[in-house]
Amino acid sequence: LNHGIPVEAAWIGLSELDRGYGYSWSDGSPVGSWLLNWNVDEPNDYSGLEACVQMLARNGRWGDIHCSTRQGFVCKQPAPGVNITRPTPVRRHDGNCPPNFSRFGYKSFITTLLSQYKISAWLGMKRLPSGQYVWEDNEDLGFEGWNKNQPNSAEGNASCVYMSASPGSVGKWNAGSCQDKYAYVCQGFVDSAFPSNVVAPSAQCNITDGFQQFSTSCYKVVNESLSWQDAHVYCSSSKSYLATVMDGFDWAELYLLSYNFTDGVWIGLNDQESPGVYTWDSGYPVTYTRWAHHQPQEKLHEACVYMNYTGLFHKGQCTEPRPFICRYDATPPQEIPLQPGDYCSISNFVQHGSVCYLQVLDKKFTYEMAGRECELQGATLASVHNSSLTFSMAHGQGMWIGLRESDNEGFSWEDSTVLDFTNWALNEPSWLGETLDQSCVVMFWDGHWANIGCDSTYGFLCSIPAGSLI
């Protein structure tokens, strides 16, 4: 069978994806030990990560390997005129979860499990010697949620992966040493041996009106398309408000509630009162945003925000009809007052409110080089959160600020603070073509912003919280 295979190895239908049942053939045929044709020292289940079987072209022997490996495969069917009775594959995944387990099919659900504890937790992902990161359950890596600058290949011992619960990076993945200590999340198959584990609904939420609980909040998904204002009125009539997203835990819950709505759902974020100044329908402070590609923009009549099916924030016309999500809180979130520093310990930094700034205009740098110059000062390229921040520049001058668009999402600040304010120039942000890099942002002499190529050269503005410079 191995003769003529033009590759080093090819998949065959043998695997142990159900670890509790051992190896099995994909067509349900019985596995007889006398038919097993393992290569020397196989199967070895390297690091507990190899559950599928390949046939080596050089000798026809078998070896186990991670199931997400991309390679050729061998199919089998009966020869013409030959009737074969195929065994019915055993269906093993009917039943219930063990006690204290929750049933759900999406890995983003893991973020919601951490909301009660606000602690980081190990995931079932490891790095292979090749540098590739893979899931321990041998699933394909169809979704990646790496934190900024992760995984860090410079950290040679960062072979395991944990999910962050830190503010600003909730739900993002970091690579770390497997010897570090974190909480952990387990996953397994349902089993008919376990009794039904139905959790009684909480009395805190009005379940008769369709609300369901997450943490200390109650949510209602309304599958009726209304304008933003009409959706606001609907939620108000239920003593709730269009959904607020306070942090990454809230975001994960709303994503799970809304991913089936291809046109997105209205949430409470908007800049109707003052363009570029974002507020929540609830009146809560804006502490979290996750903008979609090329967002946020300031287009005519687009002042209301919806969450699209990928979980990202997108502005739209407030009169457009969309489904929406209402929320109310059994315990209103407590705003933790900031403790601003009261000094800038390096003389060339200037304090403005609770932040220290360094403005450099006599030299020009690319965006990346400007960022490194700020890092040398222990700072980052600056974030801007209101229109009161002004700096003296000659007519026509500009300087880099720390706003940049990622490849897959929208604009965000380098210091990971919330993007709750924009001050785009007329007809900005703009794009000359999707192939041209215009992902970095400059503040011009009049205080307005524009997105341009990151290899352009300008002065720059650094910032760091007051009182934190050494």
pLDDT for position 442: 97
pLDDT for position 152: 76
pLDDT for position 449: 95
- Please state, in angstroms and rounded to a whole number, the distance separating the CA atoms of residues 406 and 404: 7
- Please state, in angstroms and rounded to a whole number, the distance separating the CA atoms of residues 352 and 465: 10
Residues belonging to the chain: 470
- Structure confidence by residue, pLDDT tens digits, 41-72: 999 888 888 999 999 988 889 999 999 988 88
pLDDT for position 217: 87
- For the chain, percent of residues with pLDDT exceeding 70: 86
pLDDT for position 245: 93
Contact yes or no for 173/185 (Cβ under 8 A): no
The residues of the chain scoring below 50 in pLDDT are 198-203, 469-470
For the record, the structure tokens of 426 come out as 């007329």
Side-chain-side CA neighbours of residue 448 (13 Å): 11
pLDDT for position 221: 94
Closest among 315, 289, 311 to 228, alpha carbons compared: 315
Burial class (CB in 10 A: 0-12, 13-18, 19+), 91: exposed
